[in-house]
């Protein structure tokens, strides 16, 4: 649909600000990125290690903790996911013996997820290939200042989606 098509068909509502050509080109390119990059990352991890990109992220976050332990809601925040999604994923990981859940004793409704030895081994095995893929597709594919710009952009957009979320 072009601006002209819509302009002629709506007379009552205020005319929205359509995108300029440059804005549109930037947005279309970004949309292609949003559609393709997650699939490309998933494909590598799935083929070589039977992991989803998101499963990998969860285990990677746990592996960075001194005791390989983190509360569910903190993992959700660290991986930018909903608690519901995380719960489903951790359940699957637990069924595979990669993660273990435990109610925090004496402190109520909270739950910790703990990376098992098998889980750690899995992350350690998967990390090099995953990092190589991230380098190949993104980090080494763009100049350093563009990567810095991507960081600024991403932080600005995420902030607009979830205003006032902790980093």
Partner DNA sequence: CAAGATTGATGGCTCAATCTTC
Partner DNA sequence: GAAGATTGAGCCATCAATCTTG
Q: Which does 7 bind (CB under 5 to 8 A by kind): a second copy, DNA, none?
A: none
Structure tokens at 29: 């390119």
Number of CB atoms found within 10 A of residue 55's CB: 24
Alpha-carbon gap, residue 2 to 48, rounded angstroms: 44
What gap in Å lies between CA 57 and CA 86, rounded to an integer?
11
Q: With binding defined as CB under 8 A, does residue 31 bind a second copy?
A: yes
CB of 112 to a second copy, least distance (A): 19
Handedness of CA 73, 75, 80, 86 (dihedral sign): negative
* Binding residue (CB under 7 A) for DNA from 69, 71, 79, 129: 71
Sign of the Cα pseudo-torsion (23, 25, 27, 33, in order): negative
Minimum distance, C-beta of residue 161 to DNA, in the bound complex (Å): 12
Binding-site member from 11, 29, 96, 164 for a second copy (CB under 8 A): 29
Which residues 111-150 are close enough to bind DNA by CB under 7 A? Answer: 111-112
Q: Is residue 42 within 8 Å of 53, Cβ to Cβ?
A: yes
CA distances from 25 to 12, 28, 47, 125 (A): 29, 5, 33, 39
Residue from 49, 60, 94, 100 touching a second copy (CB under 8 A): that is: 60
Pick the piece of the chain touching a second copy (CB under 8 A) from 89-97, 100-108, 131-139: 131-139
Give the nearer residue to a second copy in terms of CB position, either 104 or 139.
139
**Can you tell me the distance from the alpha carbon of 113 to that of 126, in angstroms, rounded to the nearest whole number?**
20
List the x/- string, 30-69, binding to DNA by CB under 7 A. ---------x--xx--x-----x-x---------------
Residues in touch with DNA (CB under 7 A): 39, 42-43, 46, 52, 54, 71-73, 76, 81-92, 101, 106-112
């Amino acid at each position: 649909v072009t601006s002209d098509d819509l302009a002629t068909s709506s007379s009552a509502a205020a005319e929205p600000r359509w995108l300029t050509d440059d804005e549109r080109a930037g947005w279309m390119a970004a949309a292609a990125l949003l559609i393709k990059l997650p699939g490309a990352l998933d494909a590598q991890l799935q083929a070589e290690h039977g992991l989803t990109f998101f499963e990998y992220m969860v285990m990677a976050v746990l592996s960075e903790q001194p005791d390989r332990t983190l509360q569910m809601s903190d993992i959700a925040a660290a991986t930018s996911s909903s608690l519901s999604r995380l719960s489903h994923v951790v359940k699957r990981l637990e069924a595979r013996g990669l993660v273990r859940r435990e109610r925090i004793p004496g402190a109520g409704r909270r739950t910790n997820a703990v990376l098992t030895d098998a889980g750690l081994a899995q992350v350690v095995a998967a990390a090099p290939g995953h990092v190589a893929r991230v380098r190949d597709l993104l980090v080494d594919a763009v100049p350093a200042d563009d990567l810095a710009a991507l960081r600024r952009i991403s932080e600005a957009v995420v902030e607009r989606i979830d205003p006032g979320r902790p980093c």
